Every structure is written in C-alpha cells, then in structure tokens.
Amino acid sequence: MIIQLKASAGKSGLEKVVSHLAKDGVPRQRLDIFSGDTYNLVGIKGDASKLDLGKYQALDYVFTVHRISDPFKELSRQFHPDDTLVELRNGHCVGRDLSIIAGPCAIESREQLFKTAEMVARAGANILRGGAFKPRTIHRSFQGLGEDGLKLLAEVREAVGLPVVSEIMDARDIPLFVDYDIDIWQVGARNCLNYTFLDALSQVPNPKPILLKRGDHVSVSELLGAALRLYEGNQQVILCERGDKTADKVHRNVLNLNNVSYLKHHYHLPVIVDPSHGTGVRELVVDLGMAGLAAGADGLMVEVHYQPEHALCDGAQSLNHEFGSMVPLASTIFQARSGLGAAQAAECSVLAATAR
C-alpha cells in the first residue's frame, strides 16, 4: 500500500501518518518513505490487507492511498496460475471440459422434468439444471416445488446420469440440499451480495461446488469479494455471468462479456455464461452463448423446456430444438479456442458421449 500525502502536509503530516500506522501495528521498519520536492510518499511493505484504506484516505493531510496487491489474492492467477478444476460425479470436470448446463428454469412436474432432462442429455448436456426454489419478482406467481422439486431432481439424476445444479435461496434449506446430495449449489443473482448467506454456505462441512451468479447490479470487484467469502471455506467456486440491467428495456439483461474475458485472464475460478437470463430472448440465446465461449467462458448454462410455450417460468428465453444445434457449435468454438488437435477433440467427444 502507498500513501501519498498532500503537498501541504509537511513533516508534521508525515509524522502523523507514521504514528497512525504504528497504532495499526505497522512499525517504522516496515515503511519506505520517499520525500520528493513536493510530495511525501509512504510505502508499506508486507501484508497491508488488514489496514483500512478509507481511514487513511479520510486523513486531511493525505492526498490518496493506493493498494498495490490484489485484494482477492487467493483468487488471482498471480499467486495461483493454474485453473481451478471442479470434478463432478460423472467424471465431467468444470474448468477443463466444456460445461453444458441445461434444463428447465423451474421444475414444474415429474413429466416436464424427465422429458426435458432426457432431451438435454441426449443432445449433449453434461450437467442438468432445474430450479426447485424460484426467486420470482411477483410473489404470487409460481414459486417452484420446493423440496418436492429437489426430490424429483435427485430421481432424474439417476435416470439420465447427469449431475444436477439447483438454486439455494435460504440458509435454512442447507439440510435439504445435503439430504438430496445436490451436486452444485447455485447462488442466484439476487443473493450474490447476501453476506450472511454466503458465510453460512462457506461453513458447510464437506461442501459441494457453488455456482455464484453475478447480480445485475454487482461489479466485478463485488463478485470477487463474494467469491472470496465462499472460497475461504469452499475452494470449489464457479462464477457465472448473467448480464446487467441497462436503460434499454428491449432486453431483460445485457451480458457483460468484458467480465468473462477479464475474469479468465486474471483469476483462476471457472466462468460460466448464462445467455438465457443474460438476454431473456430465445432467438439471442445461442448467439450470445457462442460469444461467451469466444470470450473465454468454460461453459454455458441455458434454460431448455420440452414445451416452452407451456413453461410456468421463463418460457420466452427457453430453448427447445435449438439446444440440439447449439451443442456442436459450442464444442467447435471451445475446441478451436483451446487449440485442441483433431485426435484430442475426438477423444473429448468420446468422453462426453460416455458421460451421457
């Protein structure tokens, strides 16, 4: 951390900063002081992560304060260059293999879930999604089947052989997610900054991987802060980009693909793109999914319904037969991006086929 004093601070300002630092546990030996013609700079060596930047910024003889090291150090590639890999029960590995997460927005009935699950499994999904607890804007609309939905999800997992992901909205439901052995616990956009909830999830013993969705009002730094809270207790964190709200009302959300590229370059957690909530419009889902993969995403999460016109939730953005053509396109982009040779590419499709 570097503290730049105001030109008017003089020697007394410098001494005050040094004495504040001493009170905060930073002795004189850890400081490097540079005195220029106009400004004094105080450099703090070693771990300054516990120092409150705002407190120093608030001193009236301080001009500005810079943090040098990444506050999300543990997530940064500078200290952990390798990708985080999330291994699932079917051998699929998020962060290594192309992840295609597909299924209905909400679990509505046994028939709807089984038909949709069979359809996405046949078409090449390697993870099945399905919401049992739905965070709906209008509380009188369908809220999901709750525990009955998780029960169906656990059953369909056996039938189609795919690991499952479902959203957990409340820490009180942790025992249910444990009992039904949900493979990936989704934290939705609305709970992305719910710190007490994140802390409760990070303290679950033998935790399952968590898919953390960036809220439409959440900055990348806030997302990383949320991910770091989880990471302290659970290193299996997967990030998900699902768009920003913008002034333009044409689309539900606008995917922020800058985030995808930025996160993949600088941080080691896997990143999934959700073009269903990221657009809200079926006809854009495949195109924006491909754009997400081109930007560096490790996979896609898309909503699929065997009868989107009858969906109780998000039918307008749910794919049907379009999903079948999306998977080979996605594999082509992923393989081209990963620079895989033809032989390895063939091996991947055999692996994907056996996983199904």
Summarize as ranges the residues that interact with ligand PEP (CB under 6 A): 105, 131, 135, 167, 188-190, 213, 242, 277
Closest distance of CB 237 from ligand PEP, Å: 16
> From the CB of residue 7, how many other CB atoms can be counted at a distance below 10 Å?
14
Residue 211, contacted partner among Mn ion, ligand PEP, none, CB below 5-8 A by kind: none
Closest distance of CB 146 from ligand PEP, Å: 14
Only segment of 92-100, 144-152, 242-250, 306-314 that touches Mn ion (CB under 5 A): 306-314
> Are 15 and 5 in contact, with CB atoms under 8 Å apart?
no
Cβ closest to ligand PEP, residue 126 vs residue 253: 253
Distances from the Cα of 143 to the Cαs of 169, 314, 321, in angstroms?
A: 12, 12, 26
Residue 167, contacted partner among Mn ion, ligand PEP, none, CB below 5-8 A by kind: ligand PEP
Instruction: Please select the residue that binds Mn ion; options are 97, 216, 298, 314, rule is CB under 5 A.
Output: 314
Please report, to the nearest 10 degrees, the dihedral formed by the alpha carbons of residues 72, 73, 77, 79 taken in order. -170
Q: If binding is defined by CB under 5 A, does position 105 make contact with Mn ion?
A: yes
Residue 135, contacted partner among ligand PEP, Mn ion, none, CB below 5-8 A by kind: ligand PEP
Closest distance of CB 171 from ligand PEP, Å: 17
Cβ closest to ligand PEP, residue 74 vs residue 244: 244
Lookup: tokens for 208: 């399952």
Element (H, E) at 103: strand 99-103
CA distance 280 to 80: 35
Distances from the Cα of 172 to the Cαs of 108, 150, 169, 183, in angstroms?
A: 22, 15, 9, 18
Closest distance of CB 166 from ligand PEP, Å: 9
> From the CB of residue 338, how many other CB atoms can be counted at a distance below 10 Å?
13
Amino acid letter, residue 184? I
Contacting Mn ion within 258-287 (CB under 5 A): none
Cβ closest to ligand PEP, residue 42 vs residue 150: 150
Closest distance of CB 88 from Mn ion, Å: 22
> From the CB of residue 326, how many other CB atoms can be counted at a distance below 10 Å?
24
Which residues form the interface with Mn ion (CB under 5 A)?
A: 105, 314
